[in-house]
Homo-oligomer: A and B are copies of this chain.
Amino acid sequence: MSGFEDLLTPAFSGDRRALAKLLTVVERGGAESRRLLSAVYPHSGKAHVVGVTGPPGAGKSTLVDRLIGRIRSDGAEVAALLVDPSSPFSGGAILGDRIRMQDRVSDAGVYARSMASRGHLGGVSDAAPKAAIVLDAAGFPYVLVETVGVGQAEVDIVESAQTTLVVLNPGWGDSIQAAKAGLLEIGDVFVVNKADRPGVEATVSDLNHMLHDGPEREWTPPVVTTVATTGTGVDELWEAVLSHQQHLAGVDGNAVERRRAERDLRVAMVELLQQRALDRIEESDIDGAVDEVAARRLDPWTAAERLLPG
């Protein structure tokens, strides 16, 4: 297998097959992925990454599709990452609402890709933030990252986005559920989608109330209503994203860039340490320890300490 180096120039010049191969390298992880990211990182930092999160069924996929259309109507190129929980049970074959995306494939200004949300060892994958770096370096001015629910992977994606959209529905657990799920503090823009359903005013007002209730912030997240299936409100939503982008540009640029660097470095350190941990776990004699722990002659913390000294 030849390296990724030959793919960089074509991928950055619009060759989608080369780009897809680069993203596969990132998805596979490991040393090759790190070398690739080291190579492309200096070219990144120009894209506006928009995270789209919220509970399953809120209509995120349809909304992402509409936003792609909106961005394309301005002539800008756009990439979309769809973080699909790959189900070992279903073989990850539940792609119903992905198919719609394929309509865009004929548009050379759009690049869309599904990514697995599960990583090695059953842990969550952190490939999406890295894939966003590659798409950024490849020159896309906008990168949309859709993610299901809120878990650690989603937090990582949110942290790698400049603007995070939280998509809810009217009456969705009386919006208190959004607060319980930790969605209030991660959103830069809130979207009440399916706004043709009853209860939309109450949900908007609840959200506004809760968003104004917390500590004062430099940016107060607006609440936008949409009907993604018809496209209603998508223009207003995109205006809200652009307002947030302008807000960030107005904040001290060095501070924003430093915060981004801190985040990237933290992701890289954690990954490196995880990789080393995996290597060490693979090298250790785990079977004997498991037998001792199973017999409760030894507790797992002491066993771990012995397997992985100092």
Residues of A within 8 A of B (CB): 34, 37-39, 41-42, 44-45, 55-57, 84-85, 87-90, 94, 96, 117-118, 122-124, 148-155, 172-173, 176-182, 184-185, 210, 213-215, 254, 257-258, 260-262, 264-265, 267-273, 276-277, 280-281, 286, 289-291, 293-294, 296-297, 299-305, 307-308, 310
Cα separation A45 to B294 with both chains bound (whole Å)? 9
Cα separation A254 to B286 with both chains bound (whole Å)? 17
Residues of chain B within 8 A of A173, CB atoms compared: 56-57
* Smallest Cβ-Cβ distance to A34: which chain B residue: B301
Pairs A–B under 8 Å by Cβ, sample size 16 = A34-B301, A39-B299, A41-B296, A41-B299, A42-B296, A85-B182, A87-B185, A88-B185, A117-B182, A118-B182, A149-B181, A254-B294, A268-B299, A268-B301, A272-B304, A272-B308
Q: A151-B149, A301-B34 are in contact. Are A286 and B265 (CB under 8 A)?
A: yes
Q: Within the complex, which residue of B123, B299, B304 is in contact with A269, where a contact is CB–CB below 8 Å?
A: B304
Interface centre among A88, A215, A293 (most CB of B within 10 A): A293
Cα separation A244 to B56 with both chains bound (whole Å)? 28
Cα separation A57 to B294 with both chains bound (whole Å)? 37
Residues of chain B within 8 A of A305, CB atoms compared: 272
Apart from the given pairs A148-B180, A148-B181, 11 other A-B contacts in the complex at a CB distance below 8 Å: A38-B301, A42-B299, A45-B296, A89-B214, A90-B213, A124-B152, A149-B149, A150-B151, A258-B290, A267-B300, A276-B310
